[in-house]
């Protein structure tokens, strides 16, 4: 079964508001997590990553939170803009897989309402 | 500074034909990964290659699918005798190392349609 999944398949947010996209994972041994943004017809674009020895990491307008106790990952986007409309995937690198093998969740579609 | 280049962007094949998907990694990258994405789904790992070597093909179907990354030229994902179920977007990613927190850069993908 899927090791990584998302709670909400779609999310609509008013422009200027903050967005929160959630992700659950089941492999407690996973060591590294990444959020990707995928616009229609394009490949995934790296947004931000976090290692399991951290619980928070901030980038430009984005913050990733990791709660290892409940195996939950979230992506927060501040002051959401129309250009943020896309599908967002969380992915984990399976520890012990022996190679760089990312496991992706199904994705959350973020729609920004102008 | 070109990113990961995949071609063709769109490929239509009849059932039973062969599909060849090409991926040129970013300059200086020697690690290539192929993923498949079905509509409304996340990406599924298929294979990880370094120059002239297959490192991990655990996600690739045992039959009809093969991948290579020769010393010179792009990486090729080859699908023989395609079936309708092979219709998907195929993404290639590359990185300069293969470590745990390596950042891999994805190409635009090849959208394969089998008719």
Option in B44, B59, B91 nearest A43 (CB): B91
Q: Tell me: pLDDT of A4 over 70.
A: no
Interface with A, mutate which of B42, B44, B45 (most A CBs under 10 A): B42
Q: What percent of chain A has pLDDT over 70?
A: 87
Residues of A in contact with B67 (CB under 8 A): none
pLDDT at A1: 35
Higher pLDDT, B102 or B68: B68
Q: Tell me: pLDDT of A6 over 70.
A: no
At A17, the pLDDT band (50, 70, 90 cuts) reads very high
Q: Which chain A residues touch B if contact means CB-CB below 8 Å?
A: 4, 31-32, 36, 41-46, 49, 51, 89, 91, 93, 95, 97-107
At B41, is the secondary structure helix, strand, or coil? coil
Q: What is the pLDDT of residues B35-74, one digit of tens each?
A: 999 887 889 999 999 988 999 999 999 999 999 999 999 9
Q: Tell me: pLDDT of A95 over 80.
A: no
Q: What is the pLDDT of residues A52-92, one digit of tens each?
A: 899 999 999 999 999 999 999 999 999 999 999 999 999 98
Interface with A, mutate which of B2, B43, B108 (most A CBs under 10 A): B43
CB contact under 8 A, A105 and B101: no
Q: What is the pLDDT of residues B78-90, one digit of tens each?
A: 999 999 999 999 9
CB contact under 8 A, B108 and A42: yes
CA distances for A55 relative to B63, B72, B111, angstroms: 42, 42, 37
């Amino acid at each position: 079964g899927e090791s990584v999944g998302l709670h909400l398949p779609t999310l609509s947010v008013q422009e200027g508001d903050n967005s929160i996209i959630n992700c659950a994972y089941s492999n407690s041994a996973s060591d590294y997590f990444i959020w990707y943004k995928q616009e229609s017809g394009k490949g995934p674009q790296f947004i931000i990553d976090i290692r399991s020895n951290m619980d928070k990491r901030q980038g430009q307008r984005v913050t990733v939170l990791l709660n290892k106790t409940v195996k939950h990952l979230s992506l927060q986007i501040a002051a959401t803009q129309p250009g943020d409309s896309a599908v967002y995937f969380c992915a984990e690198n399976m520890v012990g897989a022996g190679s760089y093998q990312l496991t992706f969740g199904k994705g959350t579609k973020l729609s920004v309402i102008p | 500074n070109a990113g990961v280049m995949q071609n063709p962007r769109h490929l239509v094949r009849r059932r039973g034909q062969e599909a060849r998907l090409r991926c040129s990694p970013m300059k200086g990258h020697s690690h290539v990964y192929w993923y498949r994405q079905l509509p409304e789904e996340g990406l599924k790992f298929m294979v990880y290659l370094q120059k002239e070597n297959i490192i991990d093909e655990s996600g690739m179907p045992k039959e009809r699918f093969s991948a290579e990354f020769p010393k010179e030229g792009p990486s090729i994902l080859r699908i023989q005798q395609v079936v309708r179920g092979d219709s998907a977007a195929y993404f290639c990613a590359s990185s300069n190392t293969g470590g745990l927190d390596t950042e891999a850069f994805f190409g635009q993908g090849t959208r394969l349609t089998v008719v």
